[in-house]
Amino acid sequence: MADQPDLSRRRLLGYAGAGAAVGAAGFASGIGTARATDGDTGSADRYPFHGSHQAGVLTPAQDRLHFAAFDITARSRSELVMLLRRWTDAAAAMTQGRPVGSGTPLPYDSPPADTGEALGLPPSRLTLTFGFGPSLFRDADGRDRFGLADRQPRALRRLPHFPADLLDPARSDGDLCVQACADDPQVAVHAIRNLSRLAFGSAALRWAQLGFGRTSSTSTRQATPRNLLGFKDGTANLKAEDADAGEHVWVRDGDDDRAPWLAGGSYLVARRINMSIEPWDRTSLSEQERLIGRDRAEGAPLSGGQEFSRPDFHLTGSDGQPLIATTSHVRLAHPSQNHGAKLLRRGYNFTDGNDALGRLDAGLFFIAFVRDPDTQYVPMQTRLSRDDGLMEYLKHTGSGLFAVPPGTRPGEHVGQALFAGG
């Protein structure tokens, strides 16, 4: 059905309009990395599902997130593959604005194939990005669950314990993950709900996270958003337009002799980072800026200039101290201080109510895509967790590492190469 973009939710409901037409044109741009030909402006309302890479990685970050991790309850490899086939068909439909199962009408006395709450809504640039956790390959006792252990990527293991980690197992890990991003949260929630439903009997939702606002720009056409500390963060983030973006994000042929199936894929790092909002809000602006290493109003580095000026880590003030403190976040996270390591940040602000003392349960759901977590993420996070002055206001409460298989071509299922010929 993926080649029938005219069967959109709008059309099914008898609507027609400019949005639908533009969307169809966007789809016709065809196979390949998802891309927005018009940047940030919202006139193209869908991204292609099929392609050589999965969408939702170098795709300009959408406004809202629903992230979900699943535990597989299926006992056999064939049952797992069936699940991935169902998910693939549903993802191909939903990302194009069609309801699940739209190709196969059901009798009136059956439960509807689609849960319905996105009927009439545009695709809202929905992307669904799938990942495989280390436990898919070997369980906690080291058992090869689905005959995949010899294909486990070498870098795919639980992230190490970082200093000051306070991880909640109920918000960490998982056999499978799905990142749903869309400009309308109802569309993202609808997608995760329908994938959960299709998983019934084969996989169960382990944990999920809603993110209400993107905290990263992944395109030079997007303004840098603010995190809940009130600062622009990730200004130096890798952008889709950067000539070397693919090099830092996509696994290449030959990167991993054990997992050739991962070429064209990536690794997804997820970290739920709670912010100590109330203490932060009682900190002076000068101290906040010192901890971040940028000014708050513009996001300019404290060494001077504007937001996108290159930070000068050598420049000192009248007191002889570096203008950008040695323990500042911007210094410790900057590629120039991390052997050139860059990552594609694609995180979201979250708020999950409050604790019994009335303190907000809020922060950053950090997501990053990297070609190799062992060189691009682990060393940097080790340094940040140990030395970043900001850590006084941060608590890492959830964690996951997932291998993101390459894109899916029409007729294939998500992760097909992992299972092929096994």
Q: Which residues bind a copy of itself (CB under 8 A)?
A: 13, 64, 66, 71, 106, 108-112, 114-120, 170, 184-186, 189, 193, 196-197, 200, 204-210, 212-213, 223, 225-231, 277-278, 281-286, 288, 296-298, 349, 351-354, 356-360, 362
* Cα 301 to Cα 373: distance, rounded to the nearest angstrom: 27
- Secondary structure E strands in 63-107: 64-72
CB atoms within 10 A of CB 147: 12
Select 85 or 296, whichever has its Cβ closest to a copy of itself.
Answer: 296
The helix (run of H) or strand (run of E) holding residue 272 is strand 266-275
Residue 351 or 385 with smaller CB distance to a copy of itself: 351
Q: Residue 40 in contact with residue 58, Cβ under 8 Å? A: no
d(C-alpha 118, C-alpha 12), whole Å: 12
Residue nearer to a copy of itself on the CB measure, 106 or 315:
106
Q: Residue 267, exposed/middle/buried by CB under 10 A (0-12, 13-18, 19+)?
A: buried
Closest distance to a copy of itself from the beta carbon of 29 (Å):
27
Cα–Cα distance for residue pair 229/58, rounded to 1 Å: 25
Q: Choose between 294 and 396: whose C-beta lies nearer to a copy of itself.
A: 294
CB of 290 to a copy of itself, least distance (A): 11
Nearer to a copy of itself, 9 or 248 (CB): 9
Question: Amino acid identity, residue 399?
Answer: S
Of 222, 5, 4, the C-alpha closest to 122 is 5
Handedness of CA 81, 86, 88, 89 (dihedral sign): positive
Shortest separation between residue 393's beta carbon and a copy of itself, angstroms: 13
Q: Which is nearer to a copy of itself, 45 or 114 (CB)?
A: 114
Q: How far is the CB of 124 from a copy of itself (least distance, A)?
A: 11
Nearest approach, Cβ of residue 254 and a copy of itself (Å): 39
What 3-state DSSP class applies to 69? Answer: strand
C-beta of 5: minimal distance to a copy of itself in Å? Answer: 21
Q: How far is the CB of 185 from a copy of itself (least distance, A)?
A: 4
CA distance 156 to 175: 12
> Which ranges of 7-76 would DSSP assign to H, the alpha helix?
9-12, 18-28
99: which 2 tokens?
Answer: 């309801």
Nearer to a copy of itself (CB atom), residue 1 or residue 205: 205
Judged by beta carbon, residue 14 or residue 254, the one nearer a copy of itself is 14
Q: How far is the CB of 409 from a copy of itself (least distance, A)?
A: 30
Contact 27, 232 (CB under 8 A): no
